[in-house]
């Protein structure tokens, strides 16, 4: 049992340089990076791939937080921790390990290239090692998190191949998300994190926005390297601005926390999936396939 929970072996490994590297790797597992990364990928690479990734992220974020609050397994002692962003959350399962497996292994699966599997595996192992090094998770936490992430990928791919038509039915999709969110929040062991309604709102509006965008614009990925860079840079600046505006607005609005969290997800979902694709088309940075179709098609 000590092998799974004792982190004393980490202390002799710590150096200032390795600590900075571990903090950088851990940043890849926080929501600020995940949502930013998915937005940039949605605009510059593939709407379909990153929509599927959004579904996976939402499911796994809710699953991880729910299991954490149900199991209530404490993290390693405070004296060992070098990451001050974890708040009062529990340790089992590791959200970083679970999300790392989900994100990078799913993208490797989408690409089906040897280099993608190698790169994804290196990132996953780096993120997992960073959580041990920083003293915020023990070995059991990261192993369970990685296992949950891997299992979710297998289930998701099986369901996707057989029943993925659900996302084309807007009313049913949004109703299903609303019902699932309500049931999860009602059965939560304690107070649910605010990012749960945020992600639910983001996903529901992303489904609606994706259908509207495909019907009226149907923007394609940038056709050239310089356009990809331009879309990425402009999108990144606008995304950061939108997040800062939401933070400023939230500080001046008097709304119940869960309601405001839902509103943030709704706004961000429409911003990423509808507004920015329209902006990119208007600036002629990406082609609009819908404009090439015959009238009435």
pLDDT at 188: 86
DSSP 71-140: H-PPPSPGGG------TT---SS-HHHHHHIIIIIHHHHHHT-HHHHHHHHHHHHHHHHHHHHTTS--HH
Give residue 293's pLDDT.
40
Higher pLDDT, 4 or 131: 131
Q: pLDDT at residue 244 above 90?
A: yes
Direct distance between the N- and C-terminal alpha carbons of the chain, in angstroms, rounded to an integer = 64
Smallest CA-to-CA distance from 86 within 8, 193, 191, 187 is with: 193
Instruction: Provide the pLDDT confidence category of residue 294 given band limits of 50, 70 and 90.
Output: very low
Q: How does residue 150 score in pLDDT terms, banded at 50, 70 and 90?
A: very high
Residue % of the chain over a pLDDT of 70 = 93
pLDDT tier at 290, thresholds 50, 70, 90:
low
pLDDT at 31 over 70: yes
pLDDT of residue 172: 63
295 band by pLDDT with thresholds 50, 70 and 90: very low
- Alpha-carbon gap, residue 271 to 265, rounded angstroms: 10
Report which of residues 256 and 230 the model is more confident about: 230
The stretch 188-201 carries a mean pLDDT of 85
**Alpha-carbon distance 52 to 195, whole Å?**
19
Domain ranges (residues) in the chain: 1-168, 170-297
pLDDT, one tens digit per residue, over 161-180 is: 765 555 555 566 777 777 88
**Averaged confidence pLDDT in the chain:** 87
* Per-residue pLDDT tens digits for 46-103: 888 998 899 899 999 999 999 999 999 999 888 888 888 887 788 899 999 999 999 9
24 vs 170, which has greater pLDDT?
24
User: Distance between CA atoms of 221 and 277, rounded to whole angstroms?
Assistant: 10
């Amino acid at each position: 049992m000590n092998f799974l929970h004792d982190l004393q072996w980490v202390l002799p490994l710590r150096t200032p340089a390795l600590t900075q590297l571990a903090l950088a790797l851990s940043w890849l597992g926080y929501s600020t990076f995940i949502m930013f990364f998915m937005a940039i990928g949605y605009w510059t690479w593939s709407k379909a791939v990153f929509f599927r990734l959004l579904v996976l992220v939402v499911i796994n974020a809710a699953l991880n937080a729910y299991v954490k609050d149900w199991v209530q397994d404490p993290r390693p002692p405070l004296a060992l921790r070098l990451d001050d962003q974890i708040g009062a959350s529990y340790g089992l399962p590791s959200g970083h390990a679970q999300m790392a497996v989900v994100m990078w292994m799913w993208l490797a699966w989408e690409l089906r290239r040897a280099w993608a599997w190698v790169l994804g595996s290196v990132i996953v192992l780096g993120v997992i090692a960073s959580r041990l090094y920083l003293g915020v998770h023990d070995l059991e936490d990261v192993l369970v998190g990685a296992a949950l992430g891997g299992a979710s990928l297998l289930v998701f791919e099986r369901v996707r191949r057989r029943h993925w038509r659900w996302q084309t039915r807007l009313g049913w999709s949004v109703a299903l998300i609303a019902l699932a969110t309500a049931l999860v929040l009602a059965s939560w062991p304690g107070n649910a994190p605010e990012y749960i309604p945020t992600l639910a709102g983001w996903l529901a509006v992303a489904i609606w926005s994706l259908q509207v965008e495909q019907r009226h614009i149907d923007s394609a990925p940038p056709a050239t390297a310089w356009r990809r860079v331009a879309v990425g840079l402009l999108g990144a600046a606008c995304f950061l601005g939108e997040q800062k505006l939401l933070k400023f607005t939230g500080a001046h609005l008097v709304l119940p926390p869960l309601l405001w969290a839902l509103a943030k997800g709704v706004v961000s979902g429409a911003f990423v999936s509808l507004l920015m694709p329209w902006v990119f088309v208007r600036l002629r940075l990406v082609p609009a396939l819908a404009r090439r179709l015959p009238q009435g098609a």
